[in-house]
């Protein structure tokens, strides 16, 4: 049996990615095209020429739409990829969950630009029995998988702390990074979050605000702690704040995924008492569009098998809660105990209220 697939939000040019557009839909489409049992039959974009260019690239003949709801009604796809900007994720994804034909939705990250929106998406998917996943594809890098295996095999003892550095803020890049921390800590929910942000220069990516710098600490229900720093202001790369993308600190050593530095390996380990880091060979680095292929293949495998996918909404919501709790902590000037009970986007709200006044805004 083959699933009919539709894509919403095609983007315009995958060859010139920037903060205004990566055309992620092309990466989703390439992933479906590589699979047996998935036929890309339709696309929708409010900019018709974007949809037409995408349709031409993927050989879609009769399935080009500007309005995604018309597309859902006429084409009745079983699987939908949602690649619109974050502010439109909630409306489009919830709309897809209500379409009779839709069995699975793979939505881009970050989940939504409000916490209430993210919760609603998860709730509506559950209510309609739709498999809802988010594209935290970095879980599918061999470096990440191998780091988790080393951790589970006890190579650095018991996990005490997860850390991450991110160059582009806790929302955009941090959505992946928090998600990876939760993956390393077996999806354990967090108990509290404390964070601070600096937002002096407007930094709008894919239509949403992202702070310039942030410092966050948090604690999970199993006592493991988290520490994260983001900095989009300097020359340093994403890993520069604490010297690597993801660090796993155990009772008997440390694992680093994506340490900073030009010749640094994707993965290394140092056990207590070792004088040097040991490079751990991996099949790929930290960023590769092949991870999207693996994520989408796994989603469809789970759909077929009736299994819960690891990119599912429950895990994504855990990462999203940490994002919005960080901004909420900055708004409250204090520790935020979880579960998080807000619906809005505290960073945007602080900009709207004038509590934050980033320069360069329109
Ligand atoms: N997973 C990753 O590593 C990764 C990387 C880059 C971007 N992203 C995410 O992917 C998502 C899309 O980003 P992009 O860079 O592909 O954007 P893009 O601008 O390249 O494409 C988005 C498209 O959506 C269309 N659109 C907007 N609202 C719509 C609506 N209501 N109905 C139909 N079409 C609509 C726009 O016209 C545009 O063509 C964002 O959430 C972004 O954060 C993820």
Range 214-223 average pLDDT: 98
- Whether a cis peptide bond, with omega within 30° of 0, leads into 346 is no
Range 89-99 average pLDDT: 98
Counting ligand 1 atoms within 8 A of each CB, the residue from 50, 108, 210 with the most, and so the one to mutate, is: 108
What percentage of the chain's residues is helix, strand, coil (to nearest 5)? 35, 25, 40
Nearest atom within ligand 1 for CA of residue 17: 15
Q: What is the CATH number of domain 3-137+289-311?
A: 3.40.50.720
- The predicted pLDDT at position 293 comes to 98
pLDDT higher than 70, residue 210: yes
140-279 belongs to which homologous superfamily? Dihydrodipicolinate Reductase; domain 2 (3.30.360.10)
Range with lowest mean pLDDT among 13-22, 116-125, 274-283: 13-22
pLDDT higher than 80, residue 20: no
pLDDT higher than 70, residue 19: no
- The predicted pLDDT at position 16 comes to 77
**Portions of the chain given CATH number 3.30.360.10:** 140-279
CA-angle at 340, arms to 338 and 343, nearest 5°: 180
pLDDT higher than 80, residue 18: no
Q: Is the CB of 205 under 6 A from ligand 1?
A: no
- The predicted pLDDT at position 241 comes to 87
**Portions of the chain given CATH number 3.40.50.720:** 3-137+289-311
Mean residue pLDDT across the chain: 95
Encode pLDDT of 25-71 as tens digits.
Answer: 999 999 999 999 999 999 999 999 999 999 999 999 999 999 999 99
- The predicted pLDDT at position 329 comes to 98
Q: Is the CB of 86 under 6 A from ligand 1?
A: yes
| Rounded distance from Cα 44 to ligand 1 centre (Å) | 12
- The predicted pLDDT at position 48 comes to 97
| Rounded distance from Cα 93 to ligand 1 centre (Å) | 13
| Rounded distance from Cα 351 to ligand 1 centre (Å) | 23
Question: How far, CA to CA in Å, does 76 sit from each of 41, 125, 138, 274, 355?
Answer: 10, 17, 30, 58, 46
- The predicted pLDDT at position 361 comes to 61
Full-model pTM: 0.97
- The predicted pLDDT at position 262 comes to 86
Confidence grade of residue 162 (pLDDT, cut at 50, 70, 90): very high
Q: In sequence order, which ranges of the chain are alpha helices (DSSP H)?
A: 24-33, 48-58, 68-75, 86-97, 115-127, 142-152, 174-184, 290-305, 313-332, 346-353
pLDDT higher than 60, residue 353: yes
- The predicted pLDDT at position 238 comes to 66
Confidence grade of residue 76 (pLDDT, cut at 50, 70, 90): very high
- The predicted pLDDT at position 13 comes to 77
- List all residues 6 or more positions away from 280 whose beta carbon is below 8 Å from its beta carbon: 146, 147, 150, 265, 267, 268, 269
- The predicted pLDDT at position 192 comes to 98
Q: Is the CB of 169 under 6 A from ligand 1?
A: no
pLDDT higher than 70, residue 88: yes
Confidence grade of residue 15 (pLDDT, cut at 50, 70, 90): confident
| Rounded distance from Cα 89 to ligand 1 centre (Å) | 9
Residue 251: exposed, middle, or buried by beta-carbon count in 10 A (0-12, 13-18, 19+)? exposed
Confidence grade of residue 240 (pLDDT, cut at 50, 70, 90): confident
Range 100-117 average pLDDT: 98
Range 121-143 average pLDDT: 98
Confidence grade of residue 236 (pLDDT, cut at 50, 70, 90): low
Range with lowest mean pLDDT among 80-84, 237-241, 343-347: 237-241
Nearest atom within ligand 1 for CA of residue 89: 41
The half-sphere exposure of 362 on its side-chain side, counting CA atoms within 13 A, is 3
Spatial CA neighbour of 316 closest among 23, 168, 119 = 119
Strand order in the sheet with 3-8: 64-65, 38-44, 3-8, 79-82, 104-107, 131-134
Spatial CA neighbour of 301 closest among 148, 133, 176, 187 = 133
User: 142-152 and 174-184 are packed helices; what angle lies between their axes, rounded to 10 degrees?
Assistant: 30
Q: Whose CA is nearest to atom 19 of ligand 1?
A: 21
Counting ligand 1 atoms within 8 A of each CB, the residue from 7, 12, 22, 134 with the most, and so the one to mutate, is: 22
- Contact between 44 and 51 under an 8 Å Cβ cutoff? The reply is yes
Q: What percent of the chain has pLDDT over 90?
A: 90
| Residue bearing the bigger pLDDT, 15 or 263 | 263
């Amino acid at each position: 049996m083959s699933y009919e697939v539709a894509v919403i939000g095609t983007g315009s040019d995958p060859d010139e990615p920037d903060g205004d557009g990566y055309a992620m839909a092309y990466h989703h489409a390439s992933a479906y095209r590589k699979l047996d049992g998935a036929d890309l039959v339709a696309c929708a974009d409010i900019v018709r020429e974007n949809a037409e260019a995408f349709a031409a690239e993927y050989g879609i003949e009769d399935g080009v739409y500007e309005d995604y709801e018309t597309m859902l009604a006429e084409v009745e796809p079983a699987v939908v990829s949602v690649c619109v900007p974050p502010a439109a994720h909630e409306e489009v994804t919830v709309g897809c969950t209500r379409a009779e034909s839709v069995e699975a939705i793979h939505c881009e990250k970050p989940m939504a630009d409000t916490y209430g929106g993210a919760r609603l998406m998860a709730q509506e998917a559950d209510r309609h029995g739709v498999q809802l996943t988010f594209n935290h594809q970095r879980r599918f890098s061999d470096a990440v998988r191998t780091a988790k295996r080393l951790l589970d095999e006890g190579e650095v003892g018991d996990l005490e702390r997860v850390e991450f550095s991110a160059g582009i803020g806790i929302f955009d890049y941090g959505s992946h990074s928090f998600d990876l921390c939760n993956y390393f800590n077996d999806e354990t929910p967090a108990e509290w979050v404390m964070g601070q942000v600096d937002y002096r220069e407007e930094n709008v990516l894919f239509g949403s605000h992202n702070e310039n710098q942030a410092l966050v600490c948090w604690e999970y229900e199993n006592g493991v702690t988290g520490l994260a720093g983001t900095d989009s202001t300097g020359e340093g790369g994403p890993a520069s704040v604490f010297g690597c993308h993801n660090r796993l600190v155990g009772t008997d050593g440390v694992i680093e995924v994506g340490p900073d530095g030009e010749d640094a390996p994707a993965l290394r380990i140092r056990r207590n008492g070792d004088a040097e880091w040991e490079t751990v060979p991996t099949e790929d680095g930290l960023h590769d569009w092949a991870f999207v292929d693996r994520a989408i293949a796994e989603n469809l495998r789970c759909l077929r098998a009736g299994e819960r996918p690891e990119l599912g909404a429950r895990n994504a919501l855990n990462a999203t809660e940490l994002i919005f709790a960080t901004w909420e902590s900055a708004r409250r000037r204090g520790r935020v105990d979880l579960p998080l009970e807000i619906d809005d986007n505290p960073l945007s709200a602080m900009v709207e209220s004038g509590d934050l006044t980033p320069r360069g805004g329109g």
